[in-house]
Amino acid sequence: MAVSGLIMIGYLLAHMYGNLKVFAGQEAFDDYAHHLRTLGEPILPYGGALWIIRIVLLVAIGAHVYSAMTLWKRDRKARGGTSRYASSKAKRGVQRSYASFTLRWGGIVILLFVVYHLLHLTWNVVAPGGASDSPYERLVNGFQIWWLVVIYTIALLAVGFHLRHGVWSALTTLGANTSATTRRRLNLLAYLVAILITGGFLLVPFSILFGVVS
């Protein structure tokens, strides 16, 4: 769960950084999308590096979902058939932690979003605002529509909450959480990564919606 999660965080950081090219204009952004496909040529064929990235990502997503389901099942079994632990701390009298809620349901929201996102920007199957061969135009056409910006905002908030707990959890699993000081640092790092990725991604749709990029 931890290693596959960290691989995806690496991808998200690179993807978010790459998206900021929209601020350099249409030519720069479309060139960037083209270069993603010519990366590594002539040693690799056209699109070869992108396919390597896609395969690593697919394996990471598969491992992450498989681990999540295994943990979910193990969790249910350990509870001995009851739906939740009784808890004197929770208002409803049953335990439902912030972590289990954001990681499980947030994860499902993110998976649904990725399917929509691929249909929208990679496969061009849905084209809110109008289809185009230019990746830049696809973005600008889409994000002038408020409800599309709302969909992306909801998904990115889910990503942010997921990362806030996931970064902490992954580094703890890998043994970094050894004292009160490291715990504080891990928490801070988790907030920073979550805010950087969510904020960096959201800058693009909001800049388009408010006409900063057109």
Name the residues that contact ligand HEM, by CB under 6 A: 15, 19, 33, 36, 50, 54, 110, 114, 117-118, 121-122, 135, 139, 152, 156, 159, 201, 204-205
Q: Which one, 85 or 105, has the nearer CB to ligand HEM?
A: 105
Residue 33 or 176 with smaller CB distance to ligand HEM: 33
Q: Shortest approach of ligand HEM to residue 19 CB, angstroms?
A: 5
CB of 162 to ligand HEM, least distance (A): 9
Q: Give the CB-nearest residue to ligand HEM.
A: 33
DSSP string for the chain:
-HHHHHHHHHHHHHHHHHHGGGGG-HHHHHHHHHHHHHTTTTTSPTTHHHHHHHHHHHHHHHHHHHHHHHHHHHHHHHTTT-SS-B-SSSTTSB---HHHHHHHHHHHHHHHHHHHHIIIIIS-SS-TT---SSHHHHHHHHTTSHHHHHHHHHHHHHHHHHHHHHHHHHHHHTT---SHHHHHHHHHHHHHHHHHHHHHHHHHHHHHHTTS--
Closer of 11 and 185 to ligand HEM (Cβ):
11
CB of 98 to ligand HEM, least distance (A): 21
Q: What's the closest the beta carbon of residue 130 comes to ligand HEM, in angstroms?
A: 15
| Nearest CB to ligand HEM, comparing residues 23 and 85 | 23
